């Protein structure tokens, strides 16, 4: 990293030599500008970096092009991880879809497929996230924020007629990883070989859950760590096209971290997971090639573009330094992006379509691999059919009408974007340094260091909105009465009768299955968690095959290792 930092000093070299960045000309312009804007015109981005009115050749040393930018598909990947990027492999539109009972989900997915969505995503109900079966929680909480999934039967219904043998599937899965176990068992029943399954366990990064969201935090930190390593080990051996490790930066940023902090925390978490795998004797060349990442993209357009470009550069250098990897495959920062729900407003919700479009553009110019565009009503409820359709169409418009997939890294070489990429890189590195000093990401999260930093940044951003310094249209500026909002806000509640029918079916499933094998498999699962050498995920796969439900598996694991809640950091 040091070699890179050195160049920044040498970037401001011009000394009135008549070249484009001529110091005299620059000074004269600056004086005229100050006359116009006044001396107090100072602006900063969300990561706290100063944003100047103009950038010029003094801000970017283009002679270091190969070292700092390079060509797409080559380290340090600043311009993208694939040779042809979106021109040859357009990003995958992937919508988080989760609603109602499995049949509702399936219907919605078929509908979206007809509209051109390709990436499958299964987002389970909050009851599932917390590790319960739907019959273990208050019925009123069911099916509004995600799909009810407890059994292999449910998963089969969710994926009925969907091409899981051809398209990659993203599953909101975490320890003890029942969701992927349900899907793998469904695939087996359908005669699809595990080796051919492609997809991602999108919520496997327990560190981000612990620090920033907590929804999926079902068991204590140490047990989460072990379960993840077992999941990664099993998947790497059994389903080499699956990405069991999805490092999540999105949670940090949604919880209030700045874009630079979110990238820094995510890379620190990835280093931690990598180190843990190395301690297990895994080969970094192999497992790093299957690491994937999941980031948030906010409305801070250029900052986000720079965040992604800098993140790629930092990661490729970090893994070389810390893991000694040589292959390009192991150094690539592959990522999915979700547009930021925190930037959306409840007021005048149709305005969110414009917000999402700008966010999506930042992600696309930032070189993402797959994209979830929020539905405009995401700030109020789970998307309706209409709002989901617009979200998918937004991506098609950007790709096919605006032709944003034609040119690779089109903002590369902009004085501003290159300078900002350098500055974001420095910020990201300083976050990684703080985490290193706290003993690595595991300890930094356990001790609340990360949570405190996020809390501070969240408060700072909120204060900027409260003071009006950060404009939010319809909220603190250009406010109109709510009756003129132009959009009826309805929380789509699943039909209680359908929920009741689902619960009957679940009861029937429990009563009619062979009980003995379920008990035996759950006992095996407990033994695996008690042991130090058995693979706990293998035991989950077997428990599902024997007919155990999600809630039963999570319950048994909790009986064995304890109930985990993330630390509360005030």
Partner 1 sequence: MSAVDTGRDRSLEALVERIVDGHPRSIARAITEIEDQTARGESILQQLPEPDQPAAVVGITGPPGVGKSTLINALITELRARELRVGVLSVDPSSPVSGGAVLGDRIRMARHASDPGVFIRSLASRGQIGGLCRTIDRVIRLVHAAGFDLLIVETVGTGQVDVAITEVANTNVALFAPGLGDEIQALKAGILEVADILVVNRADSPHTRGTLLELESMLALRGTEQRRVPVLATIATTGEGVAELADRILDLASSD
Partner 2 sequence: MNHRGKVLLTKIGLDAHDRGSRIVATYLRDAGMEVIYTGPWQQIPDVVNLADQEDVDVIGISSLATDHALVPGLIQALREAGLGHIRVVVGGIVPNAEADELIQAGVARIFHPGASRESIVQEVEALAAEARTTIEQDHQA
Binding site for partner 2 (CB under 8 A): 126-127, 129-130, 137-138, 140-141, 144-145, 213-215, 217, 254-256, 342, 345-347, 379-381, 455, 458-459, 462, 466, 472, 475-476, 489-491, 565-566, 568, 570
Cβ atoms of 122 and 181 within 8 Å: the answer is no
- The item of partner 1, partner 2, none sharing an interface with residue 171, based on CB under 5 to 8 Å by kind, is none
For 329, the 3-state DSSP assignment is: helix
Q: How far is the CB of 9 from partner 2 (least distance, A)?
A: 38
Rg of the chain on CA atoms, in Å: 24
Q: What is the phi-psi region of residue 170: left when phi exceeds 0, alpha when psi lies from -120 to 50, beta otherwise?
A: beta
- The item of partner 2, partner 1, none sharing an interface with residue 282, based on CB under 5 to 8 Å by kind, is none
What CA–CA distance (Å, rounded) separates 318 from 425?
12
Q: What is the phi-psi region of residue 77: left when phi exceeds 0, alpha when psi lies from -120 to 50, beta otherwise?
A: left
Residues 6+ apart with CB under 8 A from 141: 126, 127
Nearer to partner 1, 88 or 439 (CB): 439
- The item of partner 1, partner 2, none sharing an interface with residue 526, based on CB under 5 to 8 Å by kind, is none
Q: How far is the CB of 438 from partner 2 (least distance, A)?
A: 20
Nearer to partner 1, 307 or 446 (CB): 446
Q: Which residues bind partner 1 (CB under 8 A)?
A: 220, 447-448, 568-570
Cβ atoms of 536 and 555 within 8 Å: the answer is no
CA proximity to 154, closest of 518, 553, 555, 550:
550
Q: How far is the CB of 465 from partner 2 (least distance, A)?
A: 9
Q: How far is the CB of 449 from partner 1 (least distance, A)?
A: 9
Nearer to partner 1, 216 or 442 (CB): 442
CA proximity to 257, closest of 417, 444, 93:
444
Angle, helices 536-545 vs 550-561, to 10°: value is 140
Nearer to partner 2, 466 or 523 (CB): 466
- The item of partner 1, partner 2, none sharing an interface with residue 196, based on CB under 5 to 8 Å by kind, is none
Cβ atoms of 353 and 345 within 8 Å: the answer is no
Alpha helices in 324-412 (DSSP H): 351-365, 385-396
Q: How far is the CB of 439 from partner 1 (least distance, A)?
A: 9
User: Two tokens at 46?
Assistant: 């969300």
Return the bridge partners of 371, or none. Answer: 93, 337
- The item of partner 1, partner 2, none sharing an interface with residue 137, based on CB under 5 to 8 Å by kind, is partner 2
Q: How far is the CB of 462 from partner 2 (least distance, A)?
A: 5
Cβ atoms of 167 and 174 within 8 Å: the answer is no
- The item of partner 2, partner 1, none sharing an interface with residue 144, based on CB under 5 to 8 Å by kind, is partner 2
What CA–CA distance (Å, rounded) separates 357 from 366?
14
Nearer to partner 1, 220 or 240 (CB): 220
Q: How far is the CB of 537 from partner 1 (least distance, A)?
A: 24
Q: How far is the CB of 20 from partner 2 (least distance, A)?
A: 45
What CA–CA distance (Å, rounded) separates 92 from 86?
10
Q: How far is the CB of 275 from partner 1 (least distance, A)?
A: 15
- The item of partner 1, partner 2, none sharing an interface with residue 17, based on CB under 5 to 8 Å by kind, is none
- The item of partner 1, partner 2, none sharing an interface with residue 292, based on CB under 5 to 8 Å by kind, is none
- The item of partner 1, partner 2, none sharing an interface with residue 256, based on CB under 5 to 8 Å by kind, is partner 2
User: Two tokens at 233?
Assistant: 């080990």
Q: How far apart are the first and last CA of the chain?
A: 34
Nearer to partner 2, 301 or 563 (CB): 563
- The item of partner 2, partner 1, none sharing an interface with residue 448, based on CB under 5 to 8 Å by kind, is partner 1
Q: How far is the CB of 496 from partner 2 (least distance, A)?
A: 12
Nearer to partner 1, 36 or 570 (CB): 570
Cβ atoms of 49 and 262 within 8 Å: the answer is no
Nearer to partner 2, 126 or 238 (CB): 126
CB atoms within 10 A of CB 439: 12
Nearer to partner 1, 548 or 557 (CB): 557
Q: How far lies 199's CA from each of 203, 240, 426, in Å?
A: 12, 10, 33
Q: How far lies 562's CA from each of 283, 317, 481, 540, 555, in Å?
A: 31, 39, 50, 17, 9
Q: How far is the CB of 222 from partner 1 (least distance, A)?
A: 9
- The item of partner 1, partner 2, none sharing an interface with residue 264, based on CB under 5 to 8 Å by kind, is none
- The item of partner 1, partner 2, none sharing an interface with residue 220, based on CB under 5 to 8 Å by kind, is partner 1
Nearer to partner 2, 215 or 393 (CB): 215
Q: How far lies 89's CA from each of 75, 92, 93, in Å?
A: 19, 9, 12
Q: How far is the CB of 562 from partner 1 (least distance, A)?
A: 9
Nearer to partner 2, 140 or 354 (CB): 140
Return the bridge partners of 119, or none. Answer: 94
Place of tokens 């902090």: 261
Nearer to partner 1, 212 or 306 (CB): 212
């Amino acid at each position: 990293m040091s070699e890179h930092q050195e160049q920044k000093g040498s970037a401001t070299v011009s000394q009135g030599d008549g070249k484009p960045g001529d110091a005299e000309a620059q000074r004269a312009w600056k004086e005229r500008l100050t006359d116009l804007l006044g001396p107090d015109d100072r602006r900063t981005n969300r990561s706290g970096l100063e944003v100047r009115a103009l950038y010029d050749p003094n801000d970017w040393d283009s002679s270091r092009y190969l070292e700092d930018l390079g060509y797409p598909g080559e380290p340090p990947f600043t311009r993208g991880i694939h040779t042809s990027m979106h021109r040859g492999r357009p990003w995958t539109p992937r919508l988080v879809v989760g609603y109602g009972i499995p049949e509702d989900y399936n219907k919605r997915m078929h509908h979206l497929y007809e509209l051109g969505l390709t990436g499958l995503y299964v987002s389970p109900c909050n009851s599932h996230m917390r590790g319960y079966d739907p019959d273990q929680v208050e019925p009123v909480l069911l099916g509004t924020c995600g799909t009810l999934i407890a059994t292999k039967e449910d998963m089969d219904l969710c994926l009925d007629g969907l091409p899981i043998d051809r398209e990659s599937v993203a599953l909101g899965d975490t320890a003890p990883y029942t969701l992927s176990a349900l899907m793998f068992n469904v695939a087996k029943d359908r005669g699809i070989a595990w080796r051919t399954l492609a997809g991602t366990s999108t919520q496997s990064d327990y560190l981000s859950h612990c620090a920033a969201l907590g929804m999926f935090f079902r068991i204590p930190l140490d047990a989460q760590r072990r379960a993840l390593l077992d999941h990664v080990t099993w998947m790497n051996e059994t389903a080499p096209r699956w990405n069991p490790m999805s490092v999540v930066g999105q949670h940090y940023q949604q919880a209030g971290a700045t874009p630079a902090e979110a990238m820094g925390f995510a890379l620190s978490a990835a280093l931690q997971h990598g180190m843990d795998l190395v301690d297990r004797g895994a080969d970094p060349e192999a497992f790093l090639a299957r690491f994937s990442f999941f980031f948030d993209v906010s409305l801070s357009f250029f900052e986000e573009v720079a965040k992604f470009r800098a993140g790629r550069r930092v990661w490729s250098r970090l893994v070389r330094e810390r893991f000694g990897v040589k292959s390009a495959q192991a150094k690539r920062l592959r990522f999915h992006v979700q547009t930021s729900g925190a930037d959306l407003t409840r007021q005048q919700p149709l305005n969110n379509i414009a917000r999402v479009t700008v966010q999506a553009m930042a992600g696309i110019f930032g070189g993402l691999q797959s994209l979830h565009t929020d539905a405009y009503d995401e700030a109020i409820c789970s998307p309706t059919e209409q709002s989901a359709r617009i979200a998918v169409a937004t991506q098609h418009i950007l790709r096919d009408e605006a032709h944003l997939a034609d040119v690779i890294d089109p903002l590369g070489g902009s004085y501003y974007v290159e300078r900002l990429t350098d500055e974001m890189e420095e910020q990201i590195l300083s976050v990684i340094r703080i985490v290193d000093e706290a003993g690595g990401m595991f300890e930094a999260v356990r001790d609340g260091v990360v949570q405190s930093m996020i809390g501070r940044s969240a408060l700072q951003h909120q204060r900027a909105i409260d003071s009006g310094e950060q404009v939010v249209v319809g909220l603190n500026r250009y406010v109109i009465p709510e009756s003129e909002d132009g959009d009826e806000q309805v929380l789509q509640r699943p039909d209680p009768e359908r929920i009741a029918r689902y619960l009957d079916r679940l009861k029937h499933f429990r009563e009619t299955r062979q009980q003995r094998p379920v008990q035996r498999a759950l006992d095996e699962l407990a033994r695996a968690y008690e042991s130090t050498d058995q693979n706990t995920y293998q035991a989950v796969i077997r428990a599902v095959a024997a007919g155990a439900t999600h809630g039963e598996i999570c319950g048994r694991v909790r009986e064995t290792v304890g109930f985990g809640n993330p630390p509360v950091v005030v």
